[in-house]
Structure formats: structure tokens, C-alpha cells
Amino acid sequence: MKKLLLTTAILTGMIGYAQHGLDKDIQDIESKVIEWRRDFHQNPELSNREFKTAEKIAKHLESLGMEVQTGVAKTGVVGILKGNNPGKVLALRADIDGLPVTERTDVPFKSTVKSKFRNTDVGVMHACGHDTHIAILMGVAEVLSTKKDMINGTIKFIFQPAEEGAPPGEEGGAELMVKEGVLQNPDVDAIFGLHIGAGQDVNTISYRPGGIMAASQSFEINVKGKQSHGSTPWTSVDPIMASVKIIDGMQTLVSREMQLTKEGVVLSIGKIQSGVRSNIIPESAQIIGTLRTLDYDMQAQINQRMKEMVPAIAKAYRAEATINIAKGYPITYNDPELTAQMLPSLKAAAGDNAVFEIDAITGAEDFSFFQKEVPGLYFFLGGKPVDVPQSEAAPHHTPDFFIDESGMLLGVKTFVQLTFDYLGS
């Protein structure tokens, strides 16, 4: 009976959607959304430094008559839209930061912005599509701000900084937003978020109940040896040799100790640094990597084994080693009940044949911090031109990253559909 009533409520929301002419409002916002996206793309800013981006967002929300909060988690912006009728509180989230990537695409709004990242001169680019997320949510805000008489409850528009990670020594992102109370006053009942997908066909939506993206942890290993001339390695304690064996040993934690039929685990080394000359065996080495897991018990197990294995392997080669594993991001976990409830809404927005379930992804998202506090649904919006093979689509975080803007309108439509159906408007 509960499921029947729920379905009836969702269908009622969909009928109201059509009757009130929202399709036309959404169609009319498309040119603005594309214009906003191009402006943000041309003027990207790095994590915790999104000052001009935040200013533009706040100005737009204020023009819509919303209550606007700025400086949330340093550079975040929150807009609060109160409907004319009582009801639940729903949050919609977009991330706003760019990446230290020099753009190589040949588009008229190409980024030429330069900045510093970890004391290095870098190009800055929206190489993960956060510019599209901002523009889509700004479009949703404009559409819904004119329909307060149709809204039961309150909508919080959360524009979140530093999804890509705060600079060293700083806090930021969703975790800091939660700590500062973004899900309170008024208390949020559920939260929705989307991510554009450069490898997914435009005008499609993908989702997964439960864990859709992995927990992510970075780790740093410091190996101490004894320096010597390269001609007499027997007088050294070689930290490079110890590092190689540590890296090799850690891979066996995945291949020999994890039950991979249960969930995925990925352990990758991103950097090893040691030495200055070909004829000097150095005194120390540093290894930096990342661990991705989709099960917290497996994460705890491999964390413990890394802490045991690293110093033990180093000792076998007469070296010393310490390991520091960061807390990282939790699993991006779609509440199964909420996902089932809103699946008809995703299909209503995109069409039955354009919505599909996917396997879990070993990428990570700090949207997961919101989902640890309240039920959440996170889904992917296609951004790949249909005539480009998936194998040829430039991945996220690369200089050639490209998004087909014709799919952004579906993002607006989907958020609006989810909002009205969830709030029962």
C-alpha cells in the first residue's frame, strides 16, 4: 500500500509539472544556462579560491529574491527558496571549483587563466565540468523562483567550493560545509546532486542504488636509508630499492588479500621521488598514492595491512619507513529507498530508454559527506556527443576534456522534476 501511494504521489507531481507550463520555462532558460556555463568556463578558479565565481552566483540568487548566504566553507554560496506552502526541505548541490590543468580544446570560450598550485605556475581549467553544474543549478533556481505558489516546503541551493580538495593545510569542501551547518536551519530532509559525464552519451542519465562511487584515501610513505656513492652500494641502505619492494608488496594486498568478488579495491601510486644524481644512492625516498574502496570493512582491513607491511618490508632491506593515510572521502552512497522513490522522476525527465543503472565507479566525490548526514541521490548526466566513440572521448581532469552543451537542459529539467516530485508539489 505504501508503494502504491508513493507512486500515485509522484504521478500527481508529474501532472502538475505539465499543467503549469514548466516545460516552456525550462526551454526558455537554455540560452542563459549555456551563456553562464561559458563565462564560468572561461574564468575558472581553484579550490577555496572561487571568489569571483561565488560573487556571480550570489548576485544571481539575490536577483531572484532569495535569502543568500555567502562565505560558507570559505567561498561557498547558499540560496534559500521558501515555497508558499508548508513541506519538507530539499537541498540541490553544485560544485564550483576548477583544476590545475592547462586547456587544449579549441573552443571560443577556452580558458587561458593562470594561477599557482602548490607553489607551481599552472593553467586553470574546468576540466571536470563543474562549470556546467553551476550553470544548471542557476537555471533551476531561476525556474523555481517564479513558482513559489507551487512549492510545498523549502529548497536550499548549495554551491559548494573545493570538491577537488582544499589546498594543503586548509579545510574545505562538503565536509566543511556540513561542519558549518549547511544542512541545518532549516534542517534538510534529502539532497540531490549530479555530475556531467564526458564519456556518457548526451541526453542520458545513469544512476546506481547504494555505493555509486568509492571512498578515497591518499597516503604518503617516507623511506629512510643511508646515502652512499653509486659505485659502492654495499656501503648504503638503498631507499629506492626498499621503495620498489614496498610498492610491489602493497599491490599484493589487492590481488591476494581482498575479496574482489565482493567489492572493488584500487591502490595506485602517483608519485615516487628520490635522489639527485645518477652516481649517488640517496638517503631518503617518498611514495605518494591513493586507495579506492567500496566497502568500509575492506578499507579498514587494507589500511591495517598497509601499516603493518610498509615498515616490515623496509626493515627487510635495512631501511626505515613510515606511512600516513589520510581520512579522505566516504563512499558516495545513494539511499536505496530514496533512489527507488525518485527513479520514476528521472525517467519522466529523460525518458525510459535514456535512464540506466551502472556499475560502481572507483572515482570519488565529497558529495558523500552530505549523504552521511541525510538521504541523498547522486546521478550522472551525459555530456558526450553521440557521434564521438566513447574510446575517443577525453577523460575528466585532462586538457582535452569536452562537454556537449546540448545536454545541459536535461540537467535543469531533471532537477526541477525531482524537486516537484519529492516535495509533492
DSSP assignment of 121-134 equals EEE-B-TTSHHHHH
Catalytic residue among 50, 142, 164, 405: 405
The per-residue pLDDT of the chain, averaged, comes to 94
Is pLDDT above 70 for 211?
Answer: yes
Mean pLDDT, rounded, for 133-144 = 98
pTM of the model: 0.92
> Which range (26-30, 139-143, 194-198) has the least confidence?
26-30
Secondary structure (DSSP) of 132-186: HHHHHHHHHHHHHHT-GGG-EEEEEEEEE--TT-PPTT---HHHHHHHTTTTTTT
Mean pLDDT, rounded, for 367-372 = 98
Angstrom CA distances, 21 to 8, 29, 103, 299, 414, stand at 21, 13, 40, 49, 15
Task: Give the three-state DSSP class for 397.
Answer: coil
pLDDT for 23 equals 85
Is pLDDT above 50 for 278?
Answer: yes
Q: In this structure, are residues 79 and 66 in contact, taking their beta carbons and an 8 Å threshold?
A: yes
Is pLDDT above 80 for 17?
Answer: no
Amino acid at 295: D
pLDDT bracket for residue 395 (50, 70, 90): very high
pLDDT for 19 equals 41
Please choose, from the candidates 82, 73, 83, the residue with its C-alpha nearest in 3D space to the C-alpha of residue 162.
73
C-alpha span between 3 and 232 (Å, rounded):
75
Is pLDDT above 70 for 21?
Answer: no
C-alpha span between 423 and 425 (Å, rounded):
5
Angstrom CA distances, 394 to 37, 194, 230, 403, 421, stand at 19, 19, 42, 10, 35
Q: Which residues pair with 56 in a beta bridge?
A: none
Higher pLDDT, 11 or 335: 335
Task: Give the three-state DSSP class for 383.
Answer: strand
Please choose, from the candidates 360, 247, 259, 261, the residue with its C-alpha nearest in 3D space to the C-alpha of residue 301.
259
Catalytic residue among 317, 329, 333, 422: 329
pLDDT for 20 equals 52
pLDDT in tens, 32-45: 999 999 999 999 99
Task: Give the three-state DSSP class for 81.
Answer: strand
Mean pLDDT, rounded, for 409-424 = 96
C-alpha span between 310 and 240 (Å, rounded):
14
Mean pLDDT, rounded, for 27-31 = 95
pLDDT in tens, 175-184: 999 999 999 9
Mean pLDDT, rounded, for 306-332 = 98
Mean pLDDT, rounded, for 366-388 = 98
pLDDT for 260 equals 94
The fraction of the chain above a pLDDT of 90, given in percent, is 93
pLDDT for 77 equals 98
Q: What are phi and psi of 402, to 5 degrees?
A: -145, 140
The question of whether 329 is a catalytic residue gets the answer yes
Is pLDDT above 60 for 304?
Answer: yes
pLDDT bracket for residue 22 (50, 70, 90): confident
The question of whether 422 is a catalytic residue gets the answer no
Domains defined for the chain, CATH in brackets: 2-213+331-423 (3.40.630.10), 215-325 (3.30.70.360)
Cell of 196: 556531467
Is pLDDT above 70 for 5?
Answer: no
148: left (phi over 0), alpha (psi -120 to 50) or beta: alpha
The fraction of the chain above a pLDDT of 70, given in percent, is 95
Q: What are phi and psi of 271, to 5 degrees?
A: -160, 135
pLDDT bracket for residue 425 (50, 70, 90): low
Mean pLDDT, rounded, for 247-265 = 96
Q: Is the peptide bond before 168 cis (omega within 30 degrees of 0)?
A: no
